[in-house]
Structure 1
Amino acid sequence: MTTGARRHAPATERNREPIAAVLRQELPETGLVLEVASGTGEHAVYFAERFPALTWQPSDADQMARASITAWAVQAKLNNVRPPLDLDAEAAQWPITHADAILCINMVHISPWEATLGLLANGARILAPGAPLILYGPYFRDAVDTAPSNLAFDIDLRDRNPEWGLRHLEVVDHEAMAQGLEPYRLVDMPANNIMRVYRRRPLP
């Protein structure tokens, strides 16, 4: 659904408060939070309002998404939301050199695997030691039976785009660790989603 440039994603209203509850425990008290693949911008505005001591940097590779982010931010009249960046997660270089935390919601399964690899590599590059990179979404997990709804969702995604689909968390963890991001916390979330928190490994 859209209202002018503002897009609306119904799932945002369902998951934003459970996500915020985890963010309250994992985000720094102050600093810059980079949100990768901000989509409609509704999460960015919601979280910026609830964490006023943090500066929120939304981003998206899609021009219409950036227009929606801007429209939501203008309506909210918040002074801690920056203009959205044109950021492609899989790009070799990002248009930002530092963040105190990174959040990525529902991107990993609706993008090519290269986008996840870029997220992890660039995230590790711009985060300080100990800073979090936080993922939210549905995943396959070796020790956990996959919910039928997630199995159906995976099939639907792959039918829409063969490069999409639920990822195996253990594979994502392996790639994260190769970049210096240590798995720190796993939180089961509503609707068969999880939040995975990584933290940048201290430099040797």
Structure 2
Amino acid sequence: MSPVFSHGDLRLYLLNLLDEAPRHGYDLIQALTDRTGGTYTPSAGTIYPRLAKLEEEGLVSKTVEGRKTIYEITDAGRAEVAARAHELVGIEAGLADSVRLIADEVRGSVREAMRSLRADLAAAAQSDRATARSFGAPADATTRTAAGDDPRVLAREQLQRAETVVAQFRATVRADLRTHVARGGTLASSVVDDLATALDAAASEVTRALRG
């Protein structure tokens, strides 16, 4: 998948997050996950060495509270963030582009999985036809039971399709919501209420259709 941060950008972005509020390591990891719509979650091995380097440079300080280590930006760190504000604008734009690319790649992977499923089903049907012929079964009967007319095969294919649709919807909406909020956008309760109502209605329609 495409990289989210270019070389050196993560260091400045961590400073920017700490300029917003003191945080411990897990908070920073979660913030980065949220701001990329869940498409990028850095490991502790990525975050903590950079925090240690920032502390060594005098740009952040840390205090230990129980079992948590809280990191806070220093005046020198704030000065660097202010001096490089134009770079942060570019990082935000690049971040949005990277998230879109990753989302496109995920959608491509889902489409490829669907193609693979159809190929597997076709191969299984062909194998069944060949097996039936070897035992002298009529070809047309084999085709009806082993290929697209088999309701079990059709059900499995449609189940996979339904799961793909749900996964794509979830990934798209989740990324849009998280990116919007992470960039300071507001999220009215009415929007969430409408979303919940629409999803409940869709779920009810599916349930009714399944029950006939």
| TM-score where L is the length of structure 2 | 0.27
**More helix, by proportion:** 2
CA radius of gyration, larger in: 2
Larger strand percent: 1
Q: Considering Cα pairs closer than 8 Å and 6+ residues apart, tell me whether 1 or 2 has the greater RCO.
A: 2
